[in-house]
Structure 1
């Protein structure tokens, strides 16, 4: 901007000199100024005396300085922009390559943003994929890791580490695009846990048939929660307080029994005394064959591959984890074993 203004100022000075001092017409004065500043060497438009030639020399020097400044700034801007973009791409690539046992959120609409908030509150590693520039900018302002690209393409999923991820959430508004994401992710990583958003009951069935581990319809789920809030408001308040939010006092967690290290395999809950040692409550047990035991009693036997669904404070759950060490507390690994 400064260079452009300087060039306009020099041009006005030159044109005014040739017009008022040398007595030329405005056309000849402007033409002489342009060829002088451009240093094209066409010669004088009209004969000049010593005073006019000295001014022309000064005008050439001013023009060289101003035009050189403009060229330098333009070149600097181009080179810096090129290298900055290259550096940004390299940094993003290194960041994507560093992701491991992470979650992938496809789509940063209202649903995706809420998922990101919950993941951030839980402290899990995740990356967002979205095509919209505005969504990318919002996610970056929130401090999230985001990759701008089409999540339905295999290339995009590979760039965000689909083969190293443990869970992908297809939260795009289009059921068809979520289906494409599901099929691609299961092909690239058959072990990944896939959660899909569905807009209709028909889409729920198709996504499940395509291999989705869980399908959530905001309309169906929202209706059920609203009905439950109307019929059992205190229960819903308690469940929401346990499952959501960053200021909660009680948590629900999953812990997987590792048969190689857990000392309680084959023992009953009463003998293991998990509650008395940790304070955490075992709400349910899911067997490796999918059988769910709700409200297990003291006679319930802990078996290899059991998934314990527990509730307690953060300290209680941490203590329970230490008792069952080295059972992983990473949700990624637990999700794989569901």
Structure 2
């Protein structure tokens, strides 16, 4: 749409420029006008302002001016019509785009809300986008929202600290929320509002100051990340356990091999409910590695033995290629 409008404007500008150049040159050659007088005469002719001629035209000059009037005035009417059409199309596109975006938001279910499209929110959005998870970006900055939209994300210009904006984002139907604003106070305000509107909402945030972490948890945040503490631990791990860090980065990476770690919930409808891990021969055929099993009560068993019993609602922490992970998910959630 925008390319077509730009191309239309360039064509109109080029046509008018050609007519002005031809008219100016014609008056200079036929009537011996100065360049400025010839330009002025051409401009008053094609714009139909009704000014009189600078001086009486000769017979050849009138013939030339007649053709200039026909082509020049037609070009001006065409330019005005095209510009009017462009303005109407932009207005309609803006209205249709807003309605279409609202319909998409209204149809979101069990989605994630990302408050803030800064450095933290942007990277979280890209990760959710790679996972094909439904999510919505909220930011007060129009340029950031436009950047998110250009990346194929659903984004709106809104203030996430307001309850009405959270309702508009579907917080009552949402599955989780990421509070990624630069201020701990703003994140605290978002958490209080979101948890009040939806007590079942899983909220994740970041804390600029370590002292603010406990306050954010008391406000209702399920998980609080402190970037500086995490960066410090990771720097130390690189020195002490470089191969472990390399392996974890490899497992979390989405580049190259396509190997990733994922969690798969055992459905009540699957035939593998109440069976032991050793009986799940399909797991071995799926080409994935089961790293751990987390029970509904919260207990986590790493490297589960063959006699370990699997129940509905358990989460399997698995690692493998994405295609194999999808096959395993189909088996355990069918």
TM (norm. structure 2) is: 0.73
4+ runs of 1 displaced by more than 6 Å?
Answer: 25-31, 262-265, 296-304
CA distance 1:35–1:302, change in 2 (3 Å)? closer
Deviation of 1:214 (Å): 0.8
| Equivalent residue number for residue 79 of structure 1 | 88
Partner residue of 1:103 out of 112, 126, 131: 112
Whether 2:299 is the aligned partner of 1:292: answer yes
1:48-87 aligned at under 5 Å gives the runs: 53-87=62-96
Gaps of 5+ in 1: 327-338
CA distance 1:10–1:239, change in 2 (3 Å)? closer
The SS at the match of 1:162 is: coil
| Equivalent residue number for residue 124 of structure 2 | 115
CA distance 1:31–1:175, change in 2 (3 Å)? same
CA distance 1:20–1:161, change in 2 (3 Å)? same
Deviation of 1:273 (Å): 1.0
CA distance 1:281–1:5, change in 2 (3 Å)? closer
| Equivalent residue number for residue 261 of structure 2 | 251
Partner residue of 1:4 out of 11, 16, 28: 16
Structure with bigger gyration radius? 1
The SS at the match of 2:28 is: helix
CA distance 1:210–1:196, change in 2 (3 Å)? same
* TM-align CA RMSD: 3.9
Q: Give the Cα separation in 2 of the matches to 1:228 and 1:89.
A: 48
Is this contact kept in 1: 2:203–2:223, CA < 8 A?
yes
Q: How many residues align?
A: 312
TM (norm. structure 1) is: 0.72
Gaps of 5+ in 2: 1-12
1:1-338 aligned at under 5 Å gives the runs: 1-9=13-21, 11-13=23-25, 15-16=27-28, 20=32, 34-41=43-50, 53-245=62-254, 247=257, 249=259, 251-255=261-265, 272-277=275-280, 278-279=283-284, 281=290, 283-288=292-297, 291-295=298-302, 307-313=314-320, 315=324, 319=328, 322=331, 325=333
